Amino acid sequence: MKFYEQICPIALALDEVGQRWSLMIVRDLALGSLRFSDLLATNPGIGPNLLTQRLKGLTERGVVTRRALPPPAASTVYELTEKGRDLLPVLVELARWGANYGTADLDAEAVKEAVESKRPLVLGRGGVPGEGTFVVSIDGVKVGITVADGDFEVTPVPPRKPRATVSTSIARMAGVALGVVPLADALAAGDLVVEGDVAAATAVLEVFLTPLPVPVG
């Protein structure tokens, strides 16, 4: 790892977690314990070798810890330490800045991949409630989501007769996911517009837009 070699708090922080993918790993572990395979799924561009390196570095620096699950699971999961959880307010502010000023080339395949990458996090929280097909429109780019038996499938071609359609923007969606705006307030203000079965769509949104658990105090 390359270090900045500056006596500056920003440089020191980047020495700890500034490598590519490190903060994405912290982001995902903020919502719960994950296996190595889960982290590969939530970050499809990282590759197993690089993920191994990043987890090793974050563990050595006390940001992440490993824990062996007892039988019958008998697998290893990764979790944030107290030091890692102290990064969450920083992540929220970074994400707020990115939602306001960042740019993204959105198309249906990109949105599909982004939603599918949430599967380990969603299933780890008990899955998706309800049944049916939904359309999600983000900055005008639409995908279809089919919910069944707690799991979901994403298609780049939205269904013709969905149970509900949710329309929003990256910035407005980020506001809910960051915990800046409660989901109920976003719906009431029209930041997320639902056409169709509002109750069913809200139940799905509550799973996908779970705010980061930012420490208080």
Positive/negative CA dihedral, 54, 61, 67, 34: negative
Here the CATH number for the domain that contains residue 195 is 3.30.1050.10
How many secondary structure helices (H) and strands (E) does the chain include?
11, 7
The verdict on 121 and 200 lying in the same domain is yes
Contact between 28 and 36 under an 8 Å Cβ cutoff? The reply is: no
Strand, coil or helix: what is 28? helix
Give the pLDDT band of residue 150 (cuts 50, 70, 90): very high
pLDDT in tens, 80-130: 999 999 999 999 888 888 888 877 778 898 889 989 998 998 988 889 999
Q: How far is CA 151 from the centre of its chain?
A: 16
- Residue 173, domain extent: 108-208
pLDDT in tens, 158-211: 999 999 999 999 888 888 888 888 899 999 999 999 999 999 999 999 999 888
Residue 4 in this model has a pLDDT that exceeds 70: yes
The verdict on 117 and 43 lying in the same domain is no
pLDDT, position 50 = 97
State the alpha helices, DSSP H only, in 43-182.
48-60, 82-85, 88-101, 108-116, 119-124, 170-177
Reference 89, options 27, 35, 47; nearest CA is: 27
As a whole number, the mean pLDDT across the chain is: 90
The verdict on 127 and 46 lying in the same domain is no
Q: What count of residues does the chain have?
A: 217
DSSP 175-203: HHHTTSS-HHHHHHHTSSEEEE-HHHHHH
Residue 102 lies in a domain: no
Residue 80 lies in a domain: yes
Contact between 33 and 66 under an 8 Å Cβ cutoff? The reply is: no
The verdict on 163 and 201 lying in the same domain is yes
The verdict on 125 and 196 lying in the same domain is yes
pTM of the model: 0.83
Here the CATH number for the domain that contains residue 74 is 1.10.10.10
